[in-house]
A and B are shown apart, each in its own frame.
Chain A
Amino acid sequence: MNYTQRKKIGTVIYHILICFFGIVMIYPLLWMVMSSFKDNTEIFTNAKSLIPKTFELTNYSTGWAGFGGISFSVFFRNSFVICILATVGTVISSAVIAYGFSRCNFKLRGFWFACMIVSMMMPFQIIMIPQFIIFKQLNWVGTFAPLIVPYFFGLPFGIFLIMQFIRGIPRELDEAAKIDGCSIYGIFVRVILPLIVPALVTTAIFSFMWRWDDFLAALLYLNKPSFYPVSLALKMFSDPSAQSNWGSMFAMASLSLIPIFVIFITMQKYLVEGISTTGMKD
């Protein structure tokens, strides 16, 4: 066997191995989607097979009906309202804060930057109890406010990402605008903002995905099923006290992943960029 032949066989083995482990990686997700088309008993009796004997759509219709008279259209609407508002807040506030940190010289800038690192590393779980008490005093418990308002004060991940981006914009642009009579605020709105759109998109994508998955905050603050987002509704749906109908459970679980999957397919470039520029995932 000569060198090129050996190299070719090596390449083939390389691809076969990667594909095999790739299938192992996404098998659980595939299994869930496929099971959502299976008849409810077939999920147990035919667990090993990926392909359902007959494709049934009944799981989707029974699942969509939800529980307690509230259908999943309500849960999806709630999720979208929370995610979109929180994301808008995150993007606007993070852009403003990032500009201040990267283009203005002010007293104690280093101190405040350090505070941001602290708030980034501070887990939500540590402050959830006092935060809950504060929001309860404000009568916010049972509304969307605790899930949305805090995001109007900047998300460290987004601030970092946008700061990195602003750093790449030459200061000459700022100075040219300044000479033309632009104020600092004008420079931000007219010069910087149009140039950082890709970073804003990346921030928006991550924010949306994290809020979509968010479970703990919803569990703490929402107490009426008509206010539940999809994540919390799925949890209630899967509780043994409710009817344990795995087929419709999987149908709704699969649907709940669709928004994330669409973002993943269409926005992959931004996702990869966001992760590699900040070097962190959350």
Chain B
Amino acid sequence: MTIKQKLNRESTAGYVFILPFIIGFLAFTIIPIFFSFALSFTSYDVLSAPKFIGIDNYVQMFTNDSKFWKSMGVTFYYALVSVPLRLIFALLVAMILVRPSKASGVYRAIYYLPSIMGGSVAVAVLWKRLFASDGAINALLQLVGIPCKIAWLSNTSTAIWTLIILAVWQFGSSMLIFLSGLKQIPVTYYEAATIDGAGKMKQFFSITLPMLTPVIFFNLVMQLINGFMAFTQCYIITQGKPLDSTLFYTVYMYQNSFQFNQMGYGCAMAWVMLLIVALLTGVLFKTSNNWVYYASK
């Protein structure tokens, strides 16, 4: 068989086609991951060679770094509050907008716009100004008669909420996903339910919600991962202030590795987060059999 013939066999051609992925996967995911694992047992400041220190980084992290625990708590709070809230909003608005009307295209666009721009630096900078004590939010609250002078960003109990609101505000893409999911539910299900005397509430909990669970599940997993990894918003808007009450895990990791030059410690932090994310994803997948409904089963 000539090389040309060999290359034209599916078994070879397949590898030729996915070769870029294999190279990229090894070079940009697998090798860095193991490299990071090795570095997590060293003390490394970039300038001199890494020094092996065993599990000291991990010991330090768990026993002697209150900022580590603080940032872990903040990140969990942020992800576990903002992601479910965003999904609930997305579903609610999708249920309202699914009703066909002449303007529904325009409405869909308006609600989708923030999620397209919300991740940008421009909006992060804007948020800083909106929630300043002399910013637009307070000005508007005063306009409707609430004498509000709260310094949202410098108060330990409200600062994290400005970031949560920013995350929830971007519910648009999830809304679009739910909209297309809603349209795929056969109308006959609802007709049958109506004939059987099921009310709107009952229909929602017995038809709509179960039919959407695969989509909800997938988005919950992906958005939780992204939530744990949020960086830009915290880095630009609050920088972890006040009193570390908004210090995201990734921002603390960034500070350790690139500002304090403790790359080994940063790698150890990355591995702890990787294990947490993997564990959480695993648990979600394990429990998914109990609450995710797949029509094909």
Chain A residues in the interface with B (C-beta under 8 A): 11, 14-15, 18, 22, 25-26, 28-29, 31-32, 35, 43-44, 47-48, 93, 96-97, 99-101, 104-107, 109, 112, 115-116, 118-119, 121-134, 136, 150, 152-154, 159, 183-185, 188, 209, 212-213, 215-216, 219-220, 230-232, 234-235, 238, 246, 249-250, 253-254, 256-257, 260-261, 264, 268, 271-272, 275-276, 279-282
Q: Are A154 and B24 in contact (CB under 8 A)?
A: yes
8 pairs from A and B in contact (CB 8 Å cutoff): A25-B111, A47-B135, A116-B25, A119-B29, A121-B281, A150-B28, A264-B109, A276-B180
- 1/0 contact string of B99-113 vs chain A (CB within 8 Å): 101010001111111
Q: Are B136 and A127 in contact (CB under 8 A)?
A: no
Q: Are A264 and B113 in contact (CB under 8 A)?
A: yes
User: What are the residues of chain B within 8 A of A26 when measuring CB–CB?
Assistant: 110, 113-114
User: What are the residues of chain B within 8 A of A213 when measuring CB–CB?
Assistant: 119-121
Which residue of chain B has the shortest Cβ distance to A264 in the bound complex? B116
Q: Give chain B nearest CB distance to A223 CB in angstroms.
A: 11
Contacts A105-B11, A216-B232, A275-B176; is A25 near B32 (CB within 8 Å)? no
Q: Which of these, B14, B176, B218, contacts A109 with CB under 8 Å?
A: B14
User: What are the residues of chain B within 8 A of A209 when measuring CB–CB?
Assistant: 116
Contacts A125-B270, A209-B116, A275-B173; is A130 near B121 (CB within 8 Å)? no
- 1/0 contact string of B122-143 vs chain A (CB within 8 Å): 1101111110001110111011
* A133-B263, A276-B180 given; 5 more Cβ-contact pairs under 8 Å: A106-B12, A133-B46, A264-B109, A276-B177, A281-B177
User: What are the residues of chain A within 8 A of B113 when measuring CB–CB?
Assistant: 25-26, 29, 264
Instruction: In the A-B complex, list the 10 residue pairs whose CB atoms are closest, starting with the nearest.
Output: A153-B24, A100-B17, A106-B14, A104-B14, A276-B180, A253-B122, A48-B139, A130-B32, A281-B173, A47-B139
Q: Which of these, A31, A129, A250, A280, contacts B270 with CB under 8 Å?
A: A129
A47 to B236, CA, bound (A): 21
Q: Are B17 and A97 in contact (CB under 8 A)?
A: yes
Q: Which of these, B13, B121, B219, contacts A280 with CB under 8 Å?
A: B219
Instruction: Tally the A-B contacts, defined by beta carbons under 8 Å.
Output: 257
Q: Are B24 and A250 in contact (CB under 8 A)?
A: no
User: What are the residues of chain A within 8 A of B1 when measuring CB–CB?
Assistant: none
User: What are the residues of chain B within 8 A of A257 when measuring CB–CB?
Assistant: 117, 120, 122
Q: Are A126 and B270 in contact (CB under 8 A)?
A: yes
A154 to B21, CA, bound (A): 6
Q: Pick from B56-64, B195-203, B222-230 the stretch touching chain A.
A: B222-230
Q: Are B20 and A97 in contact (CB under 8 A)?
A: yes
Which residue of chain B has the shortest Cβ distance to A89 in the bound complex? B20
Q: Are B140 and A48 in contact (CB under 8 A)?
A: yes
Chain B residues in the interface with A (C-beta under 8 A): 8, 10-18, 20-25, 27-29, 31-33, 35-36, 39, 46, 96-97, 99, 101, 103, 107-117, 119-123, 125-130, 134-136, 138-140, 142-143, 169, 173-174, 176-177, 179-181, 215, 218-219, 221-222, 225-226, 228-229, 231-232, 235-236, 250, 253, 257-258, 263, 266-267, 270-271, 273-274, 277, 281
User: What are the residues of chain A within 8 A of B134 when measuring CB–CB?
Assistant: 44, 47
User: What are the residues of chain B within 8 A of A264 when measuring CB–CB?
Assistant: 109, 113, 116
Q: Are A280 and B222 in contact (CB under 8 A)?
A: yes
Contacts A123-B229, A126-B270, A133-B263; is A235 near B13 (CB within 8 Å)? no
User: What are the residues of chain A within 8 A of B228 when measuring CB–CB?
Assistant: 123
User: What are the residues of chain A within 8 A of B253 when measuring CB–CB?
Assistant: 125
User: What are the residues of chain B within 8 A of A126 when measuring CB–CB?
Assistant: 33, 36, 229, 270-271, 273-274, 277
Q: Are A238 and B218 in contact (CB under 8 A)?
A: no
Q: Are B29 and A127 in contact (CB under 8 A)?
A: yes
Which residue of chain A has the shortest Cβ distance to B214 in the bound complex? A279
Q: Give chain B nearest CB distance to A255 CB in angstroms.
A: 9
Q: Are B143 and A48 in contact (CB under 8 A)?
A: yes
A154 to B24, CA, bound (A): 8
Contacts A126-B274, A280-B219; is A153 near B28 (CB within 8 Å)? yes
Contacts A44-B134, A106-B11; is A272 near B176 (CB within 8 Å)? yes
Q: Are A96 and B176 in contact (CB under 8 A)?
A: no
A125 to B277, CA, bound (A): 12
Q: Are B24 and A32 in contact (CB under 8 A)?
A: no
User: What are the residues of chain A within 8 A of B107 when measuring CB–CB?
Assistant: 18, 22
Contacts A130-B36, A276-B176; is A125 near B229 (CB within 8 Å)? yes
Q: Are A129 and B257 in contact (CB under 8 A)?
A: yes
Q: Are B10 and A104 in contact (CB under 8 A)?
A: yes
User: What are the residues of chain A within 8 A of B232 when measuring CB–CB?
Assistant: 215-216
Q: Give chain A nearest CB distance to B174 CB in angstroms.
A: 7
Q: Are B117 and A260 in contact (CB under 8 A)?
A: yes
User: What are the residues of chain B within 8 A of A123 when measuring CB–CB?
Assistant: 225-226, 228-229, 277
Q: Give chain B nearest CB distance to A44 CB in angstroms.
A: 5
A107 to B15, CA, bound (A): 9
A35 to B169, CA, bound (A): 20
A93 to B24, CA, bound (A): 10
User: What are the residues of chain B within 8 A of A232 when measuring CB–CB?
Assistant: 121
Which residue of chain B has the shortest Cβ distance to A151 in the bound complex? B24
Which residue of chain B has the shortest Cβ distance to A33 in the bound complex? B126
Q: Which of these, A112, A127, A129, contacts B21 with CB under 8 Å?
A: A112
